Structure 1
């Protein structure tokens, strides 16, 4: 059994769709980082997506924890041609597809992007590999809103559409107890 601590990276202040674009993170709220650091288990392994906003957030939480190399398979969903566009621009560019993408998550994807099903499988495979390789009691994964949301249905039985209704705030923690054959959700988007 492994307890997963899925932490969304710190704030980026982006007002546009942000997937694989590498944007800076704002870690100036040292009090919030200190509360998060105190809340997370000290004996955990910690890993992050390879995007700067996740890497720097994980580095700020390393303290006494063992840091694993960052991984590209823990990245946010790839929004392809929509990355860097405001939702109004996306709606104007692809009115039908953009609506269906959010209302019927599954195999639909942004032009040159990635589907919900693809990100779900990618992140699940990465987590499984980490659990098999390291067999940790506690694993902190610093990732992204979509990557975290994509794992909620496995632990709750919710649909992808229902999982997308959850808020996943910067520095929010979603914890999941992962057994080989079943997952159980703890708190979603806890803010220490």
Structure 2
């Protein structure tokens, strides 16, 4: 069995669509970081997106656990021309609404579709399971990345996956055994 402990990075306090922009996380809540680190398995491997908000969060909760190299396939959704825009600043409101309300093949200009995000993250997860069979993995990533795996574990559509809240510094625990996923906790705040 492979157990994945997905952790969303610390808050950036941005009020825009933040995808591949490398904004730092606010890691000032040391008590929350300690609680989070304390509920994670001691022998787990730690990996993160290569974006600083995820990698710094991973460093803050690693607590002596083995760190794997950052993985760019664990980056947030690539919002392309919508990057760092407020929702009401996007000119093509119909396309923006369709992106969030009927996620799938629609992509922001210069960005990636939901299906492309899912394929990218699924490749990373498959690679981790192949390289580290049966190991516990703490993966520090982003809202969209974690939702791709919640969607897969719950066998739900993308729109239903988007209904799940994934708070900063929350834990989502998913287990993989005999070819199927099981969601034990989603958006748990220790």
Fold similarity call, TM over 0.5: yes
Structure 1 segments, 4+ long, off by >4 Å, are: none
Q: Which runs of 5+ in 2 are unaligned?
A: none
Work out the CA distance in 2 between the residues paired with 1:116 and 1:62: 30
Q: Which runs of 5+ in 1 are unaligned?
A: none
Three-state SS of the structure 1 residue aligned to 2:156 is: coil
Give the deviation of 1:180 after TM superposition. 4.8
Please tell me whether the aligned partners of residues 44 and 65 of structure 1 are also in contact (alpha carbons under 8 angstroms): yes
> What residue in structure 2 maps to residue 6 of structure 1?
6
Residues 1:132 and 2:118 are matched in the alignment: no
Work out the CA distance in 1 between the residues paired with 2:7 and 2:76: 13
Work out the CA distance in 1 between the residues paired with 2:163 and 2:130: 30
Give the deviation of 1:157 after TM superposition. 1.3
Work out the CA distance in 1 between the residues paired with 2:162 and 2:95: 17
**Residues 86-143 of structure 1: CA deviation (Å, up to 9, x unaligned):** 11112xx111100100111001000000000000010011011011111143100000
Give the deviation of 1:151 after TM superposition. 1.1
Give the deviation of 1:24 after TM superposition. 1.0
Work out the CA distance in 2 between the residues paired with 1:86 and 1:27: 24
> What residue in structure 1 maps to residue 42 of structure 2?
42
Q: So what's the TM-score if we normalise by structure 2?
A: 0.98
Residues 1:32 and 2:32 are matched in the alignment: yes
Three-state SS of the structure 2 residue aligned to 1:188 is: strand
Work out the CA distance in 2 between the residues paired with 1:135 and 1:59: 23
Q: So what's the TM-score if we normalise by structure 1?
A: 0.97
Work out the CA distance in 2 between the residues paired with 1:184 and 1:136: 15
Q: Give the alignment partner of residue 96 of structure 2, picking from 92, 95, 98.
A: 98
Work out the CA distance in 2 between the residues paired with 1:63 and 1:99: 41
Q: Give the alignment partner of residue 171 of structure 1, picking from 147, 169, 179.
A: 169
Q: Give the alignment partner of residue 155 of structure 1, picking from 153, 169, 173.
A: 153
Give the deviation of 1:179 after TM superposition. 2.2
